[in-house]
Amino acid sequence: MSIREVSVVERLTSKQLATWRALLDTTNDLRRALGAQLQESGLSPNDYQVLLALKEAEGKQLRSSELAARIDWERSRLSHHLGRMERRGLIRRHDCATDSRGAVVALTDEGAHVFRRATPPHTRAIKKHFADALTPRQFEALDDILRTLGRHGAS
């Protein structure tokens, strides 16, 4: 079906389209700003996401399949990224004691140190670029909107 064949019911209004584009642009701008700040700490946003999941996990370790599910990554993508992180000493992988097909990903002392060092400036950047831009009322509205979109997307 070409764009010309889209029915009137399926089209977005100009306001809906402008809002959608603003959401995409703003999300990209925030990712870029926060990513640049994380680079100063020697981490990529993907590194930080993995380290955060491991930091929050019981025993600071997860099966690789569980880690992939938590951060919503394909397992092959995660495997390649973990290899790079392992070479930098941020994580280590070892065989799962209960399943020889599985691997466990553990946060190393170095990974925990780098994560602790990166978190305060990262949190300040989130505050500066995101939290400080909104009033409490806007935060409530945004929270409601995001939860609605999350429920709608899951259905």
C-alpha closest to that of 11 among 142, 145, 20, 27: 20
State residue 52's pLDDT score.
98
Q: Which domain holds residue 82?
A: 43-123
139 pLDDT more than 60: yes
Name the domain count of the chain.
1
State both tokens at 58: 């019981």
Could you tell me the pTM of the whole model? 0.84
State residue 65's pLDDT score.
92
For residue 85, the domain's CATH number is: 1.10.10.10
1 pLDDT more than 60: no
Residue 37 resides in a domain: no
Residue 84 resides in a domain: yes
Could you give the angle at which helices 45-56 and 64-71 cross, rounded to 10 degrees?
120
Write the pLDDT tens digit of every residue in 71-123.
999 989 999 999 999 999 999 999 887 776 779 999 999 999 999 999 999 99
